[in-house]
Amino acid sequence: MKRLVFLLLILVVPFPMWAQSVPTGMEFTTRNTPVHDPVMIRENGIYYLFCTGNGISVFSSRDMQHWRKEKPVFSSAPQWAVKAIPGFKGHIWAPDISFYKGQYYLYYAVSAFGKNTSCIGLAVNKTLDRASPDYKWEDKGKVIQSVPGRDMWNAIDPNLVFDENGTPWLSFGSFWDGIKLVKMTRDLQTVSEPQEWYTIARRPRDFATPDTAAGNGAIEAPFIFRKGNYYYLFVSRDYCCRAEKSTYKVVAGRSEKVQGPYLDRQGIPLQLDGGTLVIQGDSVNWYGAGHNAVITDSNKDYLLLHGYDAHDRGRSKLLLEEITWDAAGWPVPIQLGAGQ
């Protein structure tokens, strides 16, 4: 197989457009909170957002409507990542937060932009409350790595899920050969042996064509959410990070098994480019919306994601929308508007 060397040049605006620097202590309402790739969890009545940013960006809120910027998870770049990723200086992507056996597990991604020179790392903490004497992020280092010329997948955008037996699985992936799922050990730190890998979603692509080409395999950011008898796989398709030209959207499929196959409403597998639309930009108030997480709070399910604000030069902002489910158990498509 020939060696594939090409760049995923998906930006037509400078990288800092969605990697905005926000001072610690600055406050925002949800509609104006500058985030990218958000996930959320609650501890003792306080909601915490973790997002792409230098050292992993963090915001806190008591009502999910007013957010305060906190200090990042890491004050300096993890040294293992500096050694593993040429040019890496501490800008960390797409975190994923879970609480398991008395600890918070924070997966995160480091990558050489536009390549599958990428790694997924893990940090743990007993609490998210900075005032607690137990507050301390302990970096566990590399969990999974993808290597150009060896792997046809990209080790970014991690998401942890537990199956009905309590077995942990990690989904991840961006472009390339789609979204992967791998079985993890019970300590959540390494891939389980013997290894179990699955491709749970993908889009047709031509590896000889740059990823900038329209429709060339643009899929990433998996999030698996268990509800009732189904596992719902949410993925983002088309293009992020292009400000006014962003076409990001979220689609979903479901399966009775965490390993899949995940089918959309029409029965098309997500491995075959299927996907039922959940949310997309309206080209008036939001150019695109994607990279979602799903949380349940007060018996309501919420879709958490970022959108490209049409009223602010396409800058990336926080979106938080309640999910309603139809009689067949599918999320009702969410309509974005000016007030959101």
Structure tokens at 169: 């699985």
What is the distance between the alpha carbons of residues 308 and 249, in angstroms, rounded to a whole number?
11
Q: What is the average per-residue pLDDT within 273-280?
A: 97
Q: Is 124 exposed, middle or buried (0-12, 13-18, 19+ CB in 10 A)?
A: middle
What is the distance between the alpha carbons of residues 5 and 28, in angstroms, rounded to a whole number?
41
Q: Is residue 215 over pLDDT 90?
A: no
Summarised one tens digit per residue, pLDDT across range 26-77 is 999 998 999 999 999 999 999 999 999 999 999 999 999 999 999 999 999 9
User: In the chain, what percentage of residues exceed pLDDT 90?
Assistant: 84
pTM: 0.92
Q: What is the average per-residue pLDDT within 224-247?
A: 94
What is the distance between the alpha carbons of residues 47 and 32, in angstroms, rounded to a whole number?
17
Domains (range + CATH), the chain: 15-323 (2.115.10.20)
Q: What is the average per-residue pLDDT within 220-237?
A: 97
What is the distance between the alpha carbons of residues 259 and 224, in angstroms, rounded to a whole number?
11
- Residues marked active site are found at 37, 220
